[in-house]
Amino acid sequence: MKRNLTTLVTASVLVVIFVLLLFTFQVRKSEVAVVTTFGKTTGIYQPGLHFRWPWPVQQVYKFDERIQNFEDKFSETLTADQINLITSVYVGWQISDASDFLNSFKNGSVATAQMQLESLLRSANMTVVGRHPLSDFVNSDVKQLKFEQIQNEIEEMVQGELQTNNYGIKIEFLGLKKIGLPESVTEAVFARMKSERNILISKAKNEGQAEAIKIKANADRQANETLANAQAEATRIQGQGVAEAAKTLPIFQRNPDLAVFLLRIKALELSLDQKSMLIFDQRTPPFDLFQSLPTNSPSH
């Protein structure tokens, strides 16, 4: 009797589990589920426990809502200036509409969806690269590079195709990962880069020489102005001296002895300008002036 009860309880539990598995389904936090009834979408379910009718009435398709990424294979494309360029693009994508995704790809195959996305990505990459010259990808001047613009153009083109065809996919991020040049054109590209660098060097050198000439010209001009001002000042001072001399000349002409006397006094001033001991002959001008000096009487 006890064994029959255990068997009955076990059987009941198994039946409950079977019913739950048959009439319910669990959606994880990172998933979204699409339920179809007789092949047509009848509901989209978020994480949690949900009820359903067993197959073949209803069927549940679960999809990962997390971002998935992959890197496209190298593809060789001609640039706008007819140079072969090898590029590789990485992309991150996510299911934006689970119902459209299920209808677009058989049984909601992620592998099939990625193959389709790779095709769209390769086509957009070739189109956008063909619009730009090589200098937008490889340039000695960093400011001339246009990676961000090119990436945005590729992303916009792919995003537009996905929306137009209702694939239920959206691009989260996209970028150029690798850029290469075929061996046949590498040497020519390096030669072009060297030529561009030489042009920049020549330009900088010419600008430096022009600036040096400008600085030298300014320095010469300032020196000439300073010299001219000094000469003008010297001429002015000389003119003042001549004018002063002209004022005293009539006086000296009327009294030559006074002029001689003053010249002798000036000579003595120059001789006694510094502390010194003089040994001189009183008969030699201008020291003969000392002969005429008054002497003190013995009484004083």
Peptide bond between residue 47 and the one before it cis (omega within 30 degrees of 0): no
Read off the pLDDT of residues 22-48 as tens digits, 9 standing for 90 and up.
788 889 998 999 999 988 888 899 998
Question: What is the crossing angle of helices 256-271 and 183-254, to 10°?
Answer: 130
Read off the pLDDT of residues 9-29 as tens digits, 9 standing for 90 and up.
677 777 667 677 778 888 999
Q: Give pLDDT, residue 178.
A: 83
Read off the pLDDT of residues 75-122 as tens digits, 9 standing for 90 and up.
788 899 888 888 888 999 999 999 999 999 988 899 999 999 999 998
pTM of the model: 0.56
Q: Please report, as a single letter, which amino acid is at residue 292.
A: S
User: Which of the 8 DSSP states describes residue 75?
Assistant: E
Q: Three-class SS of residue 189?
A: helix
Query: Are the C-beta atoms of residues 254 and 233 closer than 8 Å to each other?
Result: no
Read off the pLDDT of residues 138-161 as tens digits, 9 standing for 90 and up.
787 888 889 899 999 999 999 999
Query: Are the C-beta atoms of residues 115 and 70 closer than 8 Å to each other?
Result: no
Instruction: Indicate the CATH number for domain 68-181.
Output: 3.30.479.30
* Average pLDDT score over the chain: 80
Residue scoring higher pLDDT (187 or 226): 226
Q: List the chain domain ranges.
A: 2-64, 68-181, 246-273+280-287
